[in-house]
Amino acid sequence: MSQPAVFFDRDNTLNYDPGYLSDPNLVRLFDGVGEGIAKLRNEFNFKIVVISNQSGISRGYFSEKEVVTINEKINSILKLNFNTQIDAFYFCPYHPDFSSEEESKCRKPSPLLVFKAAGELDIDLTNSYFVGDSISDIECGINANLKTVLVNYENDKGKIISLKNINKTPTFIVENFLNACNSIITDFTGGKLLVK
């Protein structure tokens, strides 16, 4: 039976991004990430999937193997400290400046990787959500007909105005990760089951 999912962007949504992150020792999760994912996955049975653009591969900054190492580090932190994990990581290694147009089709805001994940993991997209910190994340979620959550850590009003201007207003706009998870749980259940 299909399960709903929460799709997350990775860098600057789950973890601090120092810029083209390739060293697993530099992985630091934002406050609330572990608790929030544990609540969504362990209590509400959402599949947790990460969808990220990793153009640093095509730019030559790091390898696919290094991206996988970062993903594994994130999961090891989640397993060790919060008894939870991300079910699958999908990433697009291409960028139109360094790769063909055909290869670059997987880049957000394209929903291609969302649809790929849905097919491979038997995800019910009608009850799924997309959470991210950037305009392309929200566009990607909307392009996949998902409800969307903009995590606006820096209270960047320009981002919100830009999304409104292109008629891509997020379903929810929040200031931190736990509020993102709370918004999803409240919306999904129609209730008030909040993460403390």
Catalytic-role residue among 11, 23, 122, 187: 11
- Judge if the upstream peptide bond of residue 18 is cis by omega within 30 degrees of 0: no
Parent domain of 77: 5-189
Q: If we measure between CA atoms, which residue out of 45, 37, 51 comes closest to residue 116?
A: 51
Over the chain, what is the mean pLDDT?
Answer: 96
173 is a domain residue: yes
Number of domains in the chain: 1
111 is a domain residue: yes
181 is a domain residue: yes
pLDDT interval class at 136 (50, 70, 90): very high
Tell me the C-alpha distance between 3 and 45, whole Å. 7
- How much of the chain, in percent, has pLDDT values that exceed 70? 97
Cα-Cα-Cα-Cα dihedral sign, residues 67, 9, 140, 188: positive
CA triple 81-121-10, angle to 5 deg: 45
Is 156 among the catalytic positions? no
Identify the pLDDT of residue 1.
85
195 is a domain residue: no
Annotate 31-48 with b (16+ C-beta within 10 A) or e (fewer).
ebbbbbbbbbbeeeebbb
Q: Say if residue 128's pLDDT is above 70.
A: yes
Q: Is the pTM of this model over 0.75?
A: yes
Q: If we measure between CA atoms, which residue out of 173, 100, 178, 109 comes closest to residue 139?
A: 109
Q: Say if residue 196's pLDDT is above 70.
A: no
50 is a domain residue: yes
Q: What is the CATH number of the domain that holds 159?
A: 3.40.50.1000
Q: Tens digit of pLDDT for each residue in 18-75?
A: 999 999 999 999 999 999 999 999 999 999 999 999 999 999 999 999 999 999 999 9
Catalytic-role residue among 9, 122, 156, 187: 9
Is 187 among the catalytic positions? no
160 is a domain residue: yes
Amino acid identity, position 120 = E
Identify the pLDDT of residue 193.
53
196 is a domain residue: no
194 is a domain residue: no
